[in-house]
Amino acid sequence: MELKEKLLSSFLAFENQVDVDSYVHEIRSEAIKKFETKGFPNKKDEAWKYTSLNKILKEDYSVFSKEENALEYSDVKKYFIHDIDSYKIIFIDGKYSSHLSETTHDGMDVCLMSAALTKPKYRLVIENYFNKIAKDDSLASLNTAFSREGAFINIPKGKLAEKPIQVIHFSTGNEAALMLQPRNLIVVGENSHVQIIERHQSLTSNPILTNSVTEVFANKRAIVDYYKVQNDEKNASLIDNTFINQKQQSHVSVHTFSFGGKLTRNNLNFFQNGEHIDSTLKGVTIIGDKQHVDHNTLVHHIEPNCESHQDYKGIFGDSAIGVFNGKVVVEKEAQKTNAFQANNNILISDKASINTKPQLEIFADDVKCSHGCTIGQLDESALFYLRSRGIPEKEAKALLMYAFANNVLESVKIPELKKRINKLIANKLAVNIGFDL
């Protein structure tokens, strides 16, 4: 059975398992209809011109995990940033693992979407925020239809979440192939501050397809730092749909580190609903083999006096394919907008490729918008300089590649995470040198 048919026919069974009277039933029913009409995106869609889902959709995915699976912390510790104190919301094959998690309701909610969607005390938050900014495109609709579990983070106003929150989705490979659809909702109150680290990690080479939707609401003067660590197994694919709504004077940054997985598509959308907003989108992509990473960003400047900064670096080896599609829309009212976008790439193999496409739609006349994309090779004279000091070719290349990506890492505010990313980069480049700069 085609995956689409399988999903459609599973919907009734899914709804039978969950509370059909709930407020979200209507939303789910609408969403499945939208998915039925639109189907999966294909290359005819402009936004999917360079990324084809055909191959990964051919797998015979289970759309729900049949069993509860357990993992021992010691076996998966390496996927945590374990040298810091943090809240943890952990899922195994789409199901919550209380064993690995550390949630809280003390002054803020760091807990589960399933609780938020069913418990009366969260009703108001759900009515105010759930599915308010997720697009009604086919993949987000599909996720909405099956929305049941994920992270729910609700920080009231004036609260500094003193520990970062780690959200990790493990898949064990107990199913021959598994599709996961986590749904996350993050509401950050006025003047509040939160740091989130998200990771999707398969533990086997069985095919995994994750279609994730995250909605983030940053209220007035809120600060949200979101880090996505994408270093998954070779048959794990991820479609990450993240929607961020910002109110005035809020600062939101999203750093995406893409080093692994089969196919990764990041749909990252920022909506600026207020003045003096700052949005930061940064990414480092280092891939090889036949890996494919696609960054599809949107920054929608709606009101005046706001800024956005996009800086994506990519290093592509072997037959890897990169895509960057960065769209910036500046509405007529959004005067004095300062929008910056850069996408710089290095190709280290003749067979690797990158498709980069900035899209600027500017309707205001008093704005500063810049964009630039480059595709290059490693600088030969720099390479000779390093080698002449005794640094072997492989290490010298790694050092130059690290240096190239470094300014994206500079803005990572959690030192232990930065150290981990440095280590992942060293592993990815197969060198044993410290990048502790």
Return residues touching another protein (CB under 8 A). Answer: 379-382, 384-393, 395-396, 399-400, 402-407, 433-437
| Closer to another protein by Cβ: residue 161 or 425 | 425
**Least CB distance from residue 278 to another protein, whole Å?**
24
Tokens representing residue 274 in the block: 């207020």
**Torsion-angle region of residue 177: left (phi > 0), alpha (psi -120 to 50) or beta?**
beta
Q: Among 40, 61, 95, which Cα is nearest to 207's?
A: 61
Roughly what angle, to the nearest 10 degrees, separates helices 23-38 and 138-145? 140
**Least CB distance from residue 120 to another protein, whole Å?**
53
Residue 285 — φ and ψ, nearest 5°? Answer: -120, 125
Are 281 and 243 contacting, i.e. CB atoms less than 8 angstroms apart?
no
| Closer to another protein by Cβ: residue 201 or 344 | 344
| Closer to another protein by Cβ: residue 350 or 436 | 436
**Least CB distance from residue 285 to another protein, whole Å?**
16
**Least CB distance from residue 289 to another protein, whole Å?**
25
**Least CB distance from residue 28 to another protein, whole Å?**
47
Measured between alpha carbons, how far is 177 from 284 in angstroms, rounded to an integer? 28
**Least CB distance from residue 392 to another protein, whole Å?**
5
**Least CB distance from residue 255 to another protein, whole Å?**
16
| Closer to another protein by Cβ: residue 107 or 390 | 390
| Closer to another protein by Cβ: residue 74 or 388 | 388
| Closer to another protein by Cβ: residue 39 or 372 | 372
**Least CB distance from residue 279 to another protein, whole Å?**
24
**Least CB distance from residue 325 to another protein, whole Å?**
26
| Closer to another protein by Cβ: residue 73 or 384 | 384
Measured between alpha carbons, how far is 371 from 354 in angstroms, rounded to an integer? 17
**Least CB distance from residue 426 to another protein, whole Å?**
12
| Closer to another protein by Cβ: residue 123 or 387 | 387
**Least CB distance from residue 433 to another protein, whole Å?**
6
| Closer to another protein by Cβ: residue 205 or 427 | 427
| Closer to another protein by Cβ: residue 71 or 433 | 433
| Closer to another protein by Cβ: residue 20 or 403 | 403
